[in-house]
Structure 1
Amino acid sequence: MTSGPARTYGSTATSALLVAGALGSLILQLFVIPLAHLPGWLLIPLVLTSTHLWSILHESIHGSLVRDRTGNDRLGRALALGYGAPFILLKSGHLLHHRFSRTPRERTEVFDEGSWASHAPVYYLRLFGGLYLAEVASVVLALAPKRLWHRLRHLLDTPDTVTALLFDAITGRRLGQFRLDAVLIVLIYAGAFIAYGPHWWMLLLVLAGRAFLVSIADNAYHYGTALDEPLEAMNLELPRLLESFVLAFNLHGIHHKYPGLAWHSLRGAFLADGGRFDMSWWRAVTRQLKGPIAAGLLEIPVVEVLPQPDGKDRDAVERMLQ
């Protein structure tokens, strides 16, 4: 994080409206439409609110939704239940992204060895929905004993992923929270599938749509940017109405520089920083279709590279979540 504007927070009234709207959209998608026998086409605009839902979750992850830290996490957990993945998983994973972005541990599209063809299948799977599906699939670990978590942690501890550190963050003091939220998610979605009855495939399409929208936008702000620069991210141009809809998430370069700013403060910081967009949001999303990129084709600035984590970093990860 660089020095800059002081941390800001969303107003209680605005945040309450945002959370209520997001929860209302989720309840409509999961229960009201099937039980009230409303037209299925109503699901289309509701699914398009997936990016808005993630943006509100993102504010909670950074503690900017409301000033009270406990309130932030409670609201985040409620939203995450409807989103379909435990909040502590989303929070830990995103904060690790801020710490290790564009380093060997977190550079989605970059490969050091092998060919484009060998990396393309996993890359495109993640791009077209795999990221969200992996988050949702984490609920299967709810009943896994702690020793299995530790075993998986050691199996997945490689220098090109943050997975081991993510496991450390969850098993440190939050495994109980993860388990409770995972069980609640399973119960909520089991109830939703029962509510849809023979039209269960409609709910499956809702989840597929959400998976696509969340996954394809995730790395667009970093695709092809310089390596070994955790603060590196792009500011992407969107019409102001859509910028408000995604809570200024498109101003991602500013967010990485000043992650303590609430969404409503990002536009002012962006203008103070020069007000320059890197490209349009649409172009950034579609250019990802080019696929994986060899590390040698990207700029590696002459800067001090962050040290790779070792056992001592468990405490550092824990402090990130405080």
Structure 2
Amino acid sequence: MPSRTYGATTTSTLLVAGALGSLCLQLFVIPMVLLPHGNAYGWLLVPLVLTSTPFWSILHESIHGSLLRDRTLNDRLGRALGIGYGAPFILLKSGHLLHHRFSRTPRERTEVYEPSRSTWASTAPGYYLRLFGGLYLAEVASVILALAPRRLWHRLRHLLDTPDTVTALLFDAITGRKLAQFRLDAILIVLLYAGAFTAYGRKGWMLLAVLAGRALLVSVADNAYHYATALDEPLEAMNLRLPRPLESFVLAFNLHGIHHKHPGLAWPDLRGAFEADGGRFDLGWWSAVARQIRGPVPADSPRLRATRRRDRSTDPVPR
């Protein structure tokens, strides 16, 4: 099994600088410097919104401690990225690590419902809301808990403590020793985006469009790597085909199956591990994203008993 690796310091620093630079352009430079000369400059926000995907990938590296060898600096940069993203780093980190622990178990299987307790029709509204932006919006909405007293956190934790969600465990992770960090980051997020909306002024709808685009990109991609994969297999995830330039653009996040097997690997090492593992893709990225539109899947579906969706022997690795 590969040992833990880290991104090169120079490369990681440049990636973080690029991510924060893109964010600065979106939140302040365009509204304060360019939009006064014409609304047409607002179209520059469209390609910048697309950087939401690599932004999350860089944040994901810091969550796993693979961005920099210095853990303190790694986490500080992660917190800065989380503030720019719109949700406290400790929330994102704890939630993601719980995902690795409980993925495809009853606690964490987004699209699956139990036919004995629910139906497709009753599950679908919440599923599609989460798929088309709700996941990101829920992460952002967590900032409203910044000023909540600890006893309210504990009360909510007990109310949400059910065997089909990780929410209670997430609350435990934050309130254990990180509540002060969560509160500070949440306050900084509110201040950052209040300043951004002030900068946009009456053109604040443009910033709302940016956030809506970010919510859609983040939420739609989140479960594509796990949709309709085998249950009760936390290591189960798909490797999705992308052209090599796009694979680099998303920091090899499409090699998600390899990442779940070796979560300590930094993104530059995922391609080598993927090829050593056989170098076969499960699906194309676009196909995997699109098939989620089929909606919720019953837990007794035969699809959830197969660990691979197709004959991989006929699916060559693109070069």
Shorter-chain TM-score range: over 0.9
Match of 1:309 in 2: none
Report if the CA contact (8 A) 1:226-1:232 is conserved: yes
Q: Which runs of 4+ in 1 moved over 3 A?
A: 298-302
State yes or no: 1:122 paired with 2:119: no
Distance 1:105 1:273 in 2: 29
Q: Deviations over 1:161-207 (max 9, x none)?
A: 00000000000000000000000000000000000000000000000
Match of 2:111 in 1: 109
**Within-5 A mapping of 1:264-279:** 264-279=268-283
Match of 2:292 in 1: 288
Distance 1:37 1:300 in 2: 54
1:37 alignment partner, one of 2, 23, 34: 34
What is the letter of the counterpart of residue 234 of structure 1?
M
Report if the CA contact (8 A) 1:228-1:301 is conserved: no
Distance 1:237 1:299 in 2: 21
TM-score, structure 1 as length reference: 0.92
**Within-5 A mapping of 1:210-289:** 210-289=214-293
Distance 1:37 1:284 in 2: 38
Distance 1:82 1:283 in 2: 30
Distance 2:285 2:60 in 1: 18
For structure 2, the 5+ residue unaligned runs are 36-40, 308-319
Moved more, 64-73 or 173-182: 64-73
Match of 1:135 in 2: 139
Match of 2:86 in 1: 84
Displacement of 1:301 in angstroms is: 7.8
For structure 1, the 5+ residue unaligned runs are 303-322
1:155 alignment partner, one of 147, 152, 159: 159
TM-score, structure 2 as length reference: 0.93
State yes or no: 1:99 paired with 2:101: yes
What is the letter of the counterpart of residue 22 of structure 1?
A
Distance 2:73 2:22 in 1: 21
2:178 alignment partner, one of 163, 174, 178: 174
Distance 1:262 1:82 in 2: 22
1:299 alignment partner, one of 304, 310, 313: 304
Distance 1:11 1:75 in 2: 15
Percent identity over the alignment is 80
What is the letter of the counterpart of residue 266 of structure 2?
A
Distance 2:65 2:118 in 1: 40
Q: Deviations over 1:238-261 (max 9, x none)?
A: 000000010000000000000000
Q: Deviations over 1:267-287 (max 9, x none)?
A: 000000000100100000000
Displacement of 1:37 in angstroms is: 2.4
Distance 2:125 2:210 in 1: 24
State yes or no: 1:9 paired with 2:15: no
Match of 1:71 in 2: 73
Q: Give secondary structure in 2 for the equivalent of 1:37.
A: helix
Distance 2:75 2:139 in 1: 18
Distance 1:5 1:159 in 2: 33
Displacement of 1:299 in angstroms is: 3.2
What is the letter of the counterpart of residue 299 of structure 1?
L
Q: Give secondary structure in 1 for the equivalent of 2:300.
A: helix
Match of 1:184 in 2: 188
Q: Give secondary structure in 2 for the equivalent of 1:91.
A: helix
Q: Give secondary structure in 1 for the equivalent of 2:61.
A: helix
Report if the CA contact (8 A) 1:47-1:210 is conserved: yes
1:195 alignment partner, one of 169, 192, 199: 199
Q: Give secondary structure in 2 for the equivalent of 1:244.
A: helix
Report if the CA contact (8 A) 2:226-2:238 is conserved: yes
Q: Give secondary structure in 2 for the equivalent of 1:299.
A: helix
- Paired residue total: 299
